[in-house]
Amino acid sequence: MKQANAYLATIMLALVAGLGGNVPALAAATQAAPIRYDAARRVFRIDAGKVTYAFGVNADGELQTLYWGSRLMAGDPLPVAVPPAPRSSFDPVGADTPQEYAGWGGPITVMPDLKVHFADGNRDLVLRYDSYRIDDGKLQVMLHDRRAGIDVMLNYSVDAATGIIGRSARIENHASQAVTLDRAASASWNLPPATDYSLRYLTGTWASEWHVRTRPLTPGATELESRRGSTGDENNPWFAIERGAQWNESHGRVWFGALAWSGSWSIHVDQDVLNQVRVTGGYDPFDFSYRLEPGQGLDTPVFYAGYTDDGIGEASRLMHQFERDRILPAHGHPKLRPVLYNSWEATGFKVNEAEQERLAGKAAALGVERFVVDDGWFGARNSDHAGLGDWTVNREKFPHGLKPLIDKVHALGMSFGLWVEPEMVNPDSDLYRRHPDWVLNFKGRPRSLGRNQLVLNLARDDVSQYVFQVLDELLSRNDIQFLKWDYNRNWSEPGWPQQAPDRQQQVYVTYVRHLYDIIRRLRERHPGLEIESCSGGGARVDLGIMGLTDEVWPSDNTDPSDRLSIQDGFTYAYAPAVMMAWVTGSPNWVNGRSSSLDFRFLSAMQGGLGIGADILKWTPAEDAVARRYIAAYKDIRATVQLGRLYRLLSPQGHAPRSATESVAIDGRQAVLFAFLRQGQDAQAYPTLYLQGLDETARYRYRLIHGKAAAGTPAVASGAYWMHHGIDLELRNDMDAAAAVFERIGTAGNVRR
Ligand code: DGJ
């Protein structure tokens, strides 16, 4: 296999070289394989989307990154890998080679990917190239430290459409003694040396997630990380690095990436004294320890990354496309998010059959398609102090079980959803009284509560079996189409007393793998089921959980003005296809801010629309407004959820104005949203220039809400909307507008 591939690769390179000057078109035809190996130069090359990625084997047998950027011509030579020259006795050869995956050993001074210690005291690990394999469009490169008995398999997957590459590692112990991994990254991404990089990342906290931050990269390290046991919202496992001073939404070189992992994680961004930038990501080394007996192995999560020349806006669109095509369970065919109703903000824990049925009736009349019962339906759950873990229907609230309500919801033409928080337990619960040993804890030490609850140790086989069974039964006994899967605290005291002390820290890996396994099995057993990942808002959003769920809840903050920034930040990394947004009551419970129903609807219509207000209190006039917006949303939701998103004006940093545009994948529709949080001295709203339209096509425009300047044409070319733009009349505090552009043909449009 390997021989044949090397031979083919050499022939292909020879063919391409022989084609002379006019390489690109012909080369594209011969260049069927996105992954090639040039055996003569010992260079691996990946071409996909608009990206080329290359690395080689240097004279020391190390795997060294050679190139990561815009796509090169097929015949372009790539240099043989040569490590940076020694500079002093402190910086010998091999100290700072930009390795694809480095062990901590030999003279290395850069951040390694893998750090180990052996039972005999050895901590030196030097990984050298061994062999490779290309199978089914995937590359596997084998490294080893033969004397130490450690093999590492590096896996590379390639998305032909976006050029996004996925990398992970498998570490195997072939020694005769045990080895403990102190640090195990998935991959390192090396950027070309430069002094004008800046790093973008996401940060936040409960009810204030998804703030976009930018800082210049200078020599030194930045650690983006979660030590919380789950993804967390303090940082999200996503990064973007931009080059030069000129970057913006549509211009500039951007390298970006995200980790597919829902446990503690780290992305370590380091610029060394040679101005080399290295982004190393994977399991969080903090409190990490994973022991491998002889013959055992560990797989890391996948670290995905991509590149574009076209600014941070295009980086986001590539991520969105990649998530829709490759990550989400529907693999390229994501179902549209139904309009949902959820009474959490209206009723809290006080759910009961009669009122939920009334709410369902009203919701259906407004055009809602999914009705979700939130927290409070089970056990002794009248507040957050009790009941978690006891997943039996509370008969005081639902005397006949959930069936009558579910039947009613179905009869009204809606699907039915239910809230669960299966990884948690209240000490005041039957489950905890039966199994106090089932939670994360250190023997004989206090157990810290968060929202009056403890974390079940899903790493234990018996606990994960139990959680699967309980949910499987719930779904088998009730006709449920949707679970809102919540997770409302961080880990504390992450002990696993039933394990030997030197194996307890495996909880960081095994817990998450069991979680994924439970969700995967539930989906297999209940094929129509959809799941939302919620973690007290947006504290568990990552490419790992997204592979198993259909939507996510970005924040408990539903204030429509705050939401503009929250949703904007979210879209840097994640697709609107999964971003749920609710219209709730005014004034908002988070900050007391009042807003019109129009503003609330338009803000929420930028994602998957939901209603969370007390709709039984809405007046007939409010009902009519809601009905109109819900109908309008159904007309545009494919464009908003699955289209190409352009962030026209940023709401970050409490900016008063913001605007987005989504263009349908087939180009037939574009939707524009514009917001004014605070009017300023009667200033006019800036002209908005649309993007991503066909210049020669004609588009008919209509307003969903708001006012455009007098003289705005009903029909004009894509060139007109993109270059002349549109002027909207937004002047007052908390004002909003939205417009739809429908493509109606191309005839008659010739640029003069
Ligand atoms: C936190 C979630 O984010 C809310 O939407 C709600 O489901 C509550 N938990 C219920 O306890």
Nearest CA owner, ligand 1 atom 3: 536
**Closest of 486, 507, 489 to residue 498, by C-alpha:** 507
**Ligand 1 closest atom vs CA 344:** 6
**Ligand 1 closest atom vs CA 537:** 3
Residue 593 Cα to ligand 1 midpoint, Å, equals: 20
**Closest of 257, 248, 259, 270 to residue 307, by C-alpha:** 257
Residue 555 Cα to ligand 1 midpoint, Å, equals: 10
User: 232: Cβ below 6 Å to ligand 1?
Assistant: no
Per-residue model confidence as pLDDT tens digits over 59-104: 999 999 999 999 999 999 999 999 999 999 999 999 999 999 999 9
User: 209: Cβ below 6 Å to ligand 1?
Assistant: no
Per-residue model confidence as pLDDT tens digits over 443-483: 999 999 999 999 999 999 999 999 999 999 999 999 999 99
The span from the CA of 235 to the CA of 264, in Å, is: 11
- Between 334 and 552, where is the model more confident? 552
Per-residue model confidence as pLDDT tens digits over 212-236: 999 999 999 999 999 999 999 999 9
The span from the CA of 321 to the CA of 641, in Å, is: 11
**Ligand 1 closest atom vs CA 535:** 3
User: 242: Cβ below 6 Å to ligand 1?
Assistant: no
Residue 426 Cα to ligand 1 midpoint, Å, equals: 15
Residue 422 Cα to ligand 1 midpoint, Å, equals: 13
pLDDT the model gives residue 30: 41
Least confident of 241-245, 659-663, 690-694: 241-245
| Both structure tokens of 514 | 């069991």
Instruction: Find the radius of gyration of the CA atoms of the chain.
Output: 27
pLDDT the model gives residue 3: 36
Please give, one letter per residue, the 3-state secondary structure of 83-138. Answer: CCCCCECCECCCCCCCECCCECCCCCCCCCCEEEEECCCCCCCCCEEEEEEEECCE
CB of 199 closer than 8 Å to CB of 212: no
Task: Answer left, alpha or beta for residue 511, where phi above 0 means left and psi between -120 and 50 means alpha.
Answer: alpha
Calculate mean pLDDT across residues 320-326: 98
Nearest CA owner, ligand 1 atom 2: 536
Is-cis flag, bond preceding 587, omega within 30? yes
Residue 545: C-alpha distances to residues 207, 293, 528, 539 (Å): 20, 29, 18, 11
User: 536: Cβ below 6 Å to ligand 1?
Assistant: yes
Nearest CA owner, ligand 1 atom 11: 375
Nearest CA owner, ligand 1 atom 10: 375
User: 165: Cβ below 6 Å to ligand 1?
Assistant: no
Nearest CA owner, ligand 1 atom 5: 556
User: 537: Cβ below 6 Å to ligand 1?
Assistant: yes
pTM of the predicted model over 0.85: yes
Residue 234 Cα to ligand 1 midpoint, Å, equals: 18
Nearest CA owner, ligand 1 atom 1: 536
Catalytic residues: 486, 556
**Ligand 1 closest atom vs CA 384:** 11
Least confident of 284-288, 416-420, 640-644, 681-685: 681-685
Residues present in the chain in total:
752
User: 344: Cβ below 6 Å to ligand 1?
Assistant: yes
User: 372: Cβ below 6 Å to ligand 1?
Assistant: no
| Both structure tokens of 639 | 């464009």
Residue 637 Cα to ligand 1 midpoint, Å, equals: 25
